[in-house]
Structure 1
Amino acid sequence: MTVLSLVAPIFGLILVGWIAALAGFLSEKVSDGLSEYVFSIAVPALIVATLTRPGLTGEITPSFWFSYFGGAALSWGIGSLVGLRRAGVERRGAILHGFAASQSNTVFIGVPMILQAYGEDGAFPLFMLLAVHLPLMMGCATFLIEADGQASLLTRLRGLALVLLRNPIFLALILGLGLKGAGLAPGGIVKALVDSVAGTASTCALIALGAGLVRYRVLHDLPSALGITVLKLGLHPLAVWLLAFHVFTMPPAYAGVATLFAAMPVGINAYLLAARYRTETGVVAAAVMLSTLLAIFTTIGWLTLLGHA
């Protein structure tokens, strides 16, 4: 029942959004607007509010990074190799296969679920991982996809920097870490405003995700989407769990956060990259939906393994 009490609100809200969109209560325009609000305002407010919260302290050791990104690299590599074996898949498409197999849905599912599961003990490693995960994973994917382009290395790096500096979540992480490092925190009316907006992040994110799933076609390329899903929900968290709990040493909450972070379904950023480069869009979109649906069951397994039963 403990596991169900963690999972049911998360995926229940996704179901509410999905049903509302199917019934026509939420139009595609409203769904897109809600997603934009979550990404641009609500989650950045949550990040700043959490990082500047008094008493939020911790130390991240290299083993934490090696555990998470070691598992991500393994899943990415195998996903790309599998993609290359598919007929008609170009190099860019294979890279996106691997990226989808290792890119977690952190904003819409990861943050609310991990905070529910680990509370204050997991907040610091969660947001530290989020701070590194976004620029590193998106940066590597963008760089690899454009590696065969005509632009110089400096031009590509400058373009990547501009992309990150326009990303509200990345900017919120920088602001939150800067305020934390300076020993400052919002107070009075500012704190009340930030907390009020931050409180809407989880509910709005999950409903927006559910509504957005209506547009994805799981049957577009089910075998490939299923392959990506198996790597994302199976291999990625399994590799991180083995590294975090059985190879390296770290606090149990840190190891659990890394594992649960990896156990999240395919992130929407994979679809956004596929749409931007106009390759494997259908497969990646199908993997987003299929992995989100199957994550209802796989996260129960991971939460049970991590001791939340």
Structure 2
Amino acid sequence: MIEVFLQTLPFFGVIGLGYSAGRIGFFGAEATAYLTLFVFYFALSAMLFLFAARLSIADVLDWDFVFAYLSGCIVVYLIATVVSVIQGKSVAEGAVEAQCAIIGNVGFLGIPMLALLLGDAAVGLIMVVLAIDLIVFSSLIVILITGSQDGKVGLKTLRTVGLGLVKNPLILSIGSGLLFASLSITIPKPAEEFLTILGGAATPGALFAIGASLAGKSAERVSTAIWLSICKLGLHPLAVAIFALLVFDVPSYAAGVMVACAALPVAGNVFMIAQNYNVAPARVSAAILFSTVASILTLPLVIAWVTSL
């Protein structure tokens, strides 16, 4: 446990550096927004493309893996939704809280950290988790929010969801990388070196951006934030572990990667969605802050357990 904690400490150290820079005003909200855009559209996309171009769909697409992860997510999603309904919250608020309960920071934190701690073989599995989060649940939250606000789910909503998926740089980079791999297209050496340099900025840039963005997060709605953090850091990895190890025939290494992904703190893109539709952004902000701080201790525990598998 101590060894794993020490291995994760540098990652959280960079997050802490970004947070400090944001708190003292050295790295403001505008700078954080531009750094996030750079990482999201350029650095992380380059990293994912290179990883995907060295894989094949057969290497990463295991339906037991997909259904185990989906099943664990759906169970926790329903738990968070039921609690929200009992508390008398709207459909849109319930969708946002359920999203907090199952969507972890896979892109900005999971890929750089878990690839180092669990090995390069984990990257393809992490990308499957990321694809499920983006394609299934990012679409679902948009459908639920717009449907509840408009009173129906029409072609406009479906078009918004479809365009969002098509334009998402992470989906595009993974898809195009797998296409290169399936067609056995060799990336020219200068292009590969260019992508390597650009992708190398993803890890420090993403971690620093996480920290700087946390500096602007509020600690309002503490009780809800604590509940959603428990869902994300506790119930989510537990549910995924049960389905992966006891229900579906997922190999122990792949199950460990899946559980580690589920143990990541709430993703920043949930706040972006909540803010865009003006649905409980303060609540999401607090959940991101609480879960990220708590994950400094919980994530090493989970990683220590899955590596023992």
**Per the shorter chain, which TM-score range?**
over 0.9
The one-letter amino acid paired with 2:169 is: P
Partner of 2:82: 81
1-structure distance, mates of 2:94, 2:42: 33
CA contact (8 A) 1:57 1:124 kept: no
Deviation by residue 1:66-122 (Cα, 9 ceiling, x = unmatched)? 2111111111111112122335x2221111111111111111111112101221221
TM-score by length of 1: 0.94
Partner of 1:167: 168
Partner of 2:291: 291
Deviation of the 1:129 alpha carbon: 2.4
Deviation of the 1:23 alpha carbon: 2.3
Deviation by residue 1:224-263 (Cα, 9 ceiling, x = unmatched)? 1111110010000001111112222222221111101110
Pair 130,247 (structure 1): closer, same or farther in 2 beyond 3 Å? same
Partner of 2:102: 102
Partner of 1:206: 207
1-structure distance, mates of 2:62, 2:272: 32
Partner of 1:279: 279
TM-score by length of 2: 0.94
Partner of 1:186: 187
Deviation of the 1:56 alpha carbon: 9.5
The one-letter amino acid paired with 1:144 is: L
Partner of 1:144: 144
Partner of 1:177: 178
1-structure distance, mates of 2:82, 2:70: 18
The one-letter amino acid paired with 2:36 is: S
Deviation of the 1:185 alpha carbon: 3.5
2-structure distance, mates of 1:56, 1:154: 31
CA contact (8 A) 1:68 1:240 kept: yes
2-structure distance, mates of 1:46, 1:283: 32
1-structure distance, mates of 2:120, 2:153: 44
Unaligned residue ranges in structure 1 (runs of 5+): none
Partner of 1:18: 19
2-structure distance, mates of 1:169, 1:24: 30
1-structure distance, mates of 2:251, 2:177: 24
SS at structure 2 position matched to 1:142: helix
1-structure distance, mates of 2:81, 2:126: 27
Unaligned residue ranges in structure 2 (runs of 5+): none
Partner of 1:216: 217
Pair 68,260 (structure 1): closer, same or farther in 2 beyond 3 Å? same
Partner of 2:128: 128
Partner of 2:52: 51
Mean Cα displacement is larger for which, 153-162 or 67-76?
153-162
Partner of 1:34: 35
Pair 185,44 (structure 1): closer, same or farther in 2 beyond 3 Å? farther
Sequence identity of aligned pairs in percent? 27
Pair 251,143 (structure 1): closer, same or farther in 2 beyond 3 Å? same
Partner of 1:239: 239
Partner of 1:303: 303
CA contact (8 A) 2:55 2:181 kept: no
Pair 279,203 (structure 1): closer, same or farther in 2 beyond 3 Å? same
CA contact (8 A) 1:121 1:253 kept: no
1-structure distance, mates of 2:147, 2:55: 43
The one-letter amino acid paired with 2:187 is: P
**When the two structures are aligned, how many residues end up with a matched partner?**
307
Partner of 1:253: 253
SS at structure 2 position matched to 1:29: helix
